[in-house]
Structure 1
Amino acid sequence: MTRHTHLDPRAIAILLLCCLLWGINQVAAKAALTEIGPLWQAGLRSVVAGFLVWLWSMSRGIKLFERDGSLWGGVLAGLLFAAEFGCIFVGLQYTSASRMVVFIYLAPFVVALGMPWIARGEALSARQWVGLVLAFGAMAFAFAEGFSAPGTPLQWWGDALGVAAAVLWGGTTLAIRATKLSSAPAEKTLLYQLGVSAVALCAAAVFAGEPLPLHWSPRLFGLFGFQAVVVTFASYLAWFWLIRHYAATKLAVFTLSTPLFGLVAGALLLGEGISARLIAALAALAVGIVLVNQR
Structure 2
Amino acid sequence: MTSHFLSRRAALLLFAFVVVAWGLNWVVTKALVQSVSPLWSVAIRSGIATVTLFVVLLLRGQLIVPRRGGVPVIVAVAVLHMGAFSVLVGFGLQSVAVGRSIVLGYTTPLWVAPAAWLLLREPTTPQRLVGIALGMAGIAWMFNPLAFDWHDRRALLGNGLLLLAALCWAANIVYVRSHRWVSTPFQLVFWQALLATLLLGAIAWLQDGPPSGIVWTRELAGLFLFAGIVGTALAHWAMVLINRSLPATVTSLGLLATPVMGVAASALLLGESVSLSLLLAMAMILCGIALGTMSSGRMTEARTGVADVVRT
User: In structure 2, what is the equivalent of residue 83 of structure 1?
Assistant: 84
Alignment of 1:1-295 (within 5 A): 8-81=8-81, 82-116=83-117, 120=121, 122-144=122-144, 148-149=148-149, 153-180=153-180, 182-209=181-208, 212=211, 213-295=213-295
Q: Is the 8 A contact 1:94 1:152 kept in 2?
A: no
Deviates more, 1:164-173 or 1:253-262: 164-173
Cα distance, 1:211 vs structure 2: 5.8
Equivalents in 1 of 2:5, 2:115: separation in Å?
26
Deviations 1:9-28 (A, max 9, x none): 33222222211211111111
**Aligned-residue RMSD, C-alpha:** 2.4
Deviations 1:132-184 (A, max 9, x none): 1110111121134697349955222211111111111122222222223x442
Unpaired runs of 5+ in structure 1? none
State the one-letter code of the partner of 1:69.
Answer: G
Unpaired runs of 5+ in structure 2? 296-312
Equivalents in 2 of 1:199, 1:91: separation in Å?
22
Equivalents in 2 of 1:269, 1:157: separation in Å?
25
Deviates more, 1:48-57 or 1:60-69: 60-69
User: In structure 1, what is the equivalent of residue 301 of structure 2?
Assistant: none
Cα distance, 1:204 vs structure 2: 1.9
Superposition TM-score, scaled by structure 2 size = 0.85
Superposition TM-score, scaled by structure 1 size = 0.90
Q: Secondary structure at the match of 2:42?
A: helix
Deviations 1:272-295 (A, max 9, x none): 112211110101012112211221
Q: Is the 8 A contact 2:99 2:263 kept in 1?
A: yes
Deviations 1:40-78 (A, max 9, x none): 010111111111111211121114214241112211221
Equivalents in 1 of 2:189, 2:112: separation in Å?
18
How many residue pairs match? The answer is 291
Q: Is the 8 A contact 1:77 1:175 kept in 2?
A: no
Equivalents in 2 of 1:273, 1:97: separation in Å?
10
Cα distance, 1:107 vs structure 2: 1.1
Q: Is the 8 A contact 2:101 2:159 kept in 1?
A: yes
Q: Is the 8 A contact 1:45 1:224 kept in 2?
A: yes
State the one-letter code of the partner of 1:174.
Answer: V
Equivalents in 1 of 2:5, 2:114: separation in Å?
26
Q: Is the 8 A contact 1:3 1:246 kept in 2?
A: no
State the one-letter code of the partner of 1:204.
Answer: I
Deviates more, 1:75-84 or 1:152-161: 152-161
Deviates more, 1:104-113 or 1:43-52: 104-113
Equivalents in 2 of 1:168, 1:66: separation in Å?
24
Cα distance, 1:113 vs structure 2: 2.4
